[in-house]
Amino acid sequence: MPGSHEPTENHILAALGAEGRQNVFPHLQLVPLSLGQVIYESGSLLPHVYFPTQGIVSLLYVMQDQSSAEIAVVGNEGLVGVSLFMGGETTPSRAVVQSVGSAFRLSAEILKKEFARGGELQHLLLRYTQALITQMAQTAVCNRHHSVEQQLCRWLLLSLDRLSTNELSMTQELIANMLGVRREGVTHAAGKLQEAGLIRYSRGHIVVIDRPGLEAKVCECYGVVKKESDRLLGSFGTYDSVRDVGAA
């Protein structure tokens, strides 16, 4: 898998039919996603959208006092830059690479042209955007009601779903920034998860050794997002893994 870098590693691109591929693929440009890279800044115009094939991008809002909160994460199931086709051109959030990888980027111009044609791609992009909306809404709920430990579980699972390993490179400090809590809070929560035998970590390295255990501990927020994503995007159909695409 490493080194291949086919556009079809991205689920949206993979779901395109022959015509869509013909119109879009020739304009795709493979770019690396390096750790900490800022794909777009709050309020900045985006010249491209990014379809990740590997890695994770965080959408986060940074406050005036520099504290921050993650709004959503994007992996190879989606794309970065929905505001381009939604018509606003910019958003008040920042997109940062949270886990290294790569993406195919597409110029705003081509994207908008193809979107305006109203075909398959438009459909796919809008459905993905709805999944993103669900993730944001659930983040709001989770921030309100659940403990740091539960939120850490949710965050780990969301990340895991977007990686091909059960291992992530991430310091507790950075996780704290994402969750919008103190670093010590993450240390505490991670300690409990490790004690419970669900994860193992050391210095910026986390290995999930009991995923079902995490799923048992996580709040309902994870399940809602996951289920809704599968419902909205699962029917893309070009997955190599089988999924439970239950209607309703």
Partner DNA sequence: CACTTTCTGTGCGATACCGCACATTATGGT
Partner DNA sequence: ACCATAATGTGCGGTATCGCACAGAAAGTG
Minimum distance of DNA from residue 141's CB (angstroms): 13
Q: Is 211 a binder of DNA (CB under 7 A)?
A: no
Pull the structure tokens for residue 67. 């504290």
CB 190 within 8 A of CB 172: yes
Q: Is 58 a binder of a second copy (CB under 8 A)?
A: no
Nearer to DNA, 21 or 200 (CB): 200
DSSP string, 87-136: T----SSEEEEEEEEEEEEEEHHHHHHHHHTTSHHHHHHHHHHHHHHHHH
- Rounded distance between C-alpha atoms, residue 217 and residue 208, angstroms: 13
**136 touches, from a second copy, DNA, none (C-beta below 5 to 8 Å by class):** a second copy
Q: Is 187 a binder of DNA (CB under 7 A)?
A: yes
- Rounded distance between C-alpha atoms, residue 237 and residue 243, angstroms: 10
Minimum distance of a second copy from residue 167's CB (angstroms): 27
Minimum distance of a second copy from residue 71's CB (angstroms): 4
Of residues 165, 203, 212, 242, which one binds DNA by CB under 7 A?
203
Of residues 120, 167, 215, 220, which one binds a second copy by CB under 8 A?
220
Strand-strand pairing, 205-208 and 68-74: unpaired
- Amino acid 138 reads Q
Count of residues touching DNA (by CB under 7 A): 22
Residue 152 CB neighbour total at 10 angstroms? 29
- Rounded distance between C-alpha atoms, residue 231 and residue 108, angstroms: 28
Of residues 10, 53, 83, 177, which one binds a second copy by CB under 8 A?
83
Nearer to a second copy, 132 or 168 (CB): 132
Nearer to DNA, 22 or 147 (CB): 147
